[in-house]
């Protein structure tokens, strides 16, 4: 998977109101990853009116990179979730096309682990989120775990960095121990040198050989040298660096005008055509294809358009996007302030500018 490709997260959640509320809370905690352009998400409430819900769920499940299975008694009691979605999710997990992660919402019989063997379980301590107080602590742990999975999927050097993180921890622990021993040896040696000759003879059996002192001095110097070399690698060893902060994979994120649709042609839905020839040339569709895109879709800039920092499309301009540039759609929204007599619904989108290796 390309480091510039959005990681698609699929929420596999029961229809229970309690489960849905906790799913929404989890989505709030993952909003930082979405804003950074790391993930895009999909859940059943995003199904457009008139769409066949089973085929929509199946389509998005099979194209997801991370499948979050929200474990609760309602989930395990649902024949559809247990026999259909769980089975398909694990088939993709075993095939390596998706990564399944279990999220423990509420206490349930551990029998669920039979259907989901050898997968990552969050929170890491295995305590259901509902049992934690405050629950935000558990949601934070889950969000960190999902970030790590997304980083593993998109960063080819993830395992190397993970090993180096452990190595540095070990080096620090050994270094601290060596320093403590060195201080102890120095203290004993110093006191020994300033004792009387009679006292030194009496305690000769307990003295520390000079060779041992030299050994610890050289060992401490070597460990210090290795520690400095690890630091010069500039790899985030003690705290994983967010994917979007890496030097070559940062992608500009902001808001653009994408076009308008007719009010008279029904509600908004993915794939609906934009108005191609409005009276004002400034309102021409700015993307190709000229339809309402779904989150995660990659589109092409058709006409020059300003990438704005603010959702209102006013204020600071980030950059002018040129014709032919590739963008990843993160979210599509309508303008809140539109003239009542206008025959159109005006649309804007949050997008991420692709780099040279952006692929569908």
Residues 104 and 13: beta-carbon distance below 8 Å: no
Greater pLDDT, 116 or 189:
116
| The predicted structure's pLDDT at residue 236 | 42
SS3 labels along the chain: CCCCCCEEEEEECCCCHHHHHHHHHHHHHCHHHHHCCCEEEECHHHCCCCCCHHHHHHHHHHCCCEEEEEECHHHHHCHHHHHHHHHHHHHHHHHCCCEEEEEECCCCCCCHHHHCCCCEEECCCCCCHHHCCCHHHHHHHHHHHHHHHHHHHHCCCHHHHHHHHHHHHHHHHHHHHHHHHHHHHHHHHHHHHCCCHHHHHHCHHHCCCHHHHHHHHHHHHHHHHHHHHHHHCCCCCCCCCCHHHCCCCCCCEEEEEEEEEEHHHCCCCCCCECCCCCCCHHHCCCEECCECCCCCCEEEECCCEEEECCCCCCCCEEEEECCCCEEEEEEEEECCCCCCCCCEEEEEEEEEECCCCCCC
Q: Indicate whether this model's pTM tops 0.85.
A: no
Q: Which residues contact 199 (CB under 8 A, 6 or more apart)?
A: none
Q: At residue 170, does pLDDT exceed 70?
A: yes
Greater pLDDT, 108 or 337:
108
Q: For the residues 208-236, what does the mean pLDDT come to?
A: 54
Q: How confident is the model at residue 91 (pLDDT cuts 50, 70, 90)?
A: very high
Q: At residue 57, does pLDDT exceed 90?
A: yes
Task: State both tokens at 212.
Answer: 């041992």
Residue 98 burial by CB count (10 A; 0-12/13-18/19+): exposed, middle or buried? buried
| The predicted structure's pLDDT at residue 240 | 41
Q: At residue 289, does pLDDT exceed 80?
A: yes
| The predicted structure's pLDDT at residue 127 | 93
Q: How confident is the model at residue 8 (pLDDT cuts 50, 70, 90)?
A: very high
CA distance 238 to 247: 18
pLDDT tens digits, 67-76 = 999 999 999 9
Closest to 16 in 3D by CA, of 89, 103, 105: 105
**Residue 51 CA from chain centroid, whole number:** 29
Q: At residue 318, does pLDDT exceed 70?
A: yes
Q: How confident is the model at residue 35 (pLDDT cuts 50, 70, 90)?
A: confident
Greater pLDDT, 322 or 2:
322
Q: For the residues 241-262, what does the mean pLDDT come to?
A: 62
| The predicted structure's pLDDT at residue 191 | 63
Q: At residue 204, does pLDDT exceed 60?
A: no
Greater pLDDT, 145 or 168:
145
Q: For the residues 92-107, what does the mean pLDDT come to?
A: 94
CA distance 59 to 82: 18
Q: For the residues 222-231, what does the mean pLDDT come to?
A: 55
Q: Which fold has domain 7-155?
A: Rossmann fold (3.40.50)
Q: How confident is the model at residue 9 (pLDDT cuts 50, 70, 90)?
A: very high
Q: For the residues 143-159, what does the mean pLDDT come to?
A: 83
CA distance 86 to 100: 10
Q: For the residues 125-135, what does the mean pLDDT come to?
A: 92
Q: For the residues 5-30, what does the mean pLDDT come to?
A: 92
pLDDT tens digits, 181-201 = 677 666 766 665 555 555 545
Q: Which of 5-19, 90-104, 326-340 shows the lowest per-residue confidence on average (mean pLDDT)?
A: 326-340
| The predicted structure's pLDDT at residue 173 | 73
Share of the chain above pLDDT 70, in %: 72
CA distance 179 to 187: 12
| The predicted structure's pLDDT at residue 2 | 40
Q: How confident is the model at residue 292 (pLDDT cuts 50, 70, 90)?
A: confident
Q: Domain extents for the chain?
A: 7-155, 159-244, 251-353
Closest to 252 in 3D by CA, of 175, 210, 306: 306
Mean pLDDT of the chain: 78
Q: At residue 205, does pLDDT exceed 80?
A: no
Q: At residue 90, does pLDDT exceed 90?
A: yes
- Angle separating helix axes 86-95 and 53-62, nearest 10 degrees: 20
């Amino acid at each position: 998977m390309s480091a510039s490709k959005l990681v698609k997260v699929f929420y596999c959640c029961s229809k229970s109101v309690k489960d849905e509320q906790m799913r929404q809370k989890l989505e709030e905690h993952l909003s930082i990853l979405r804003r950074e352009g790391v993930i895009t998400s999909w859940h059943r409430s995003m199904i457009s009116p008139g769409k066949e819900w089973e085929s929509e769920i199946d389509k998005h499940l099979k194209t997801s990179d991370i499948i979050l299975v929200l474990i609760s008694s309602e989930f395990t009691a649902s024949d559809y979730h247990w026999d259909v979605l769980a089975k398909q999710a694990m088939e993709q997990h075993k095939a390596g096309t998706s990564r399944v992660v279990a999220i423990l919402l509420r206490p349930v019989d551990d029998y669920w682990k039979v259907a989901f063997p050898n997968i990552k379980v969050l929170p890491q301590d295995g305590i259901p989120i509902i049992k934690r107080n405050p629950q935000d602590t558990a949601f934070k742990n889950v969000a960190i775990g999902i970030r790590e999975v997304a980083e593993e999927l998109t960063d080819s050097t993830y395992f190397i960095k993970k090993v180096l993180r452990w190595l540095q921890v070990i080096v620090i622990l050994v270094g601290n121990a060596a320093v403590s021993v060195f201080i102890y040896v120095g203290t004993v040696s110093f006191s020994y040198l300033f004792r009387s000759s009679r006292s030194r003879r009496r305690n000769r059996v307990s003295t520390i050989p000079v060779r041992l002192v030299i050994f610890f001095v050289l060992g401490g110097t070597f460990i210090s040298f290795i520690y400095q070399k690890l630091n010069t690698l500039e790899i985030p060893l003690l705290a994983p660096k967010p994917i979007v902060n890496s030097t070559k994979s940062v992608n500009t994120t902001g808001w653009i005008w994408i076009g308008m649709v007719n009010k008279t042609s029904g509600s908004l839905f993915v794939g609906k055509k934009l108005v191609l020839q409005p009276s004002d040339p400034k309102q021409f569709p700015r993307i190709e294809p000229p339809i309402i895109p779904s989150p995660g879709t990659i589109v092409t800039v058709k006409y020059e358009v300003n990438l704005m920092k603010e959702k209102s499309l006013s204020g600071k301009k980030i950059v002018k996007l040129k014709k032919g540039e590739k963008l990843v759609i993160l979210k599509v929204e309508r303008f809140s302030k539109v003239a009542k007599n206008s025959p159109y619904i005006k649309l804007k989108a949050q997008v991420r500018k692709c780099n040279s290796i952006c692929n569908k």
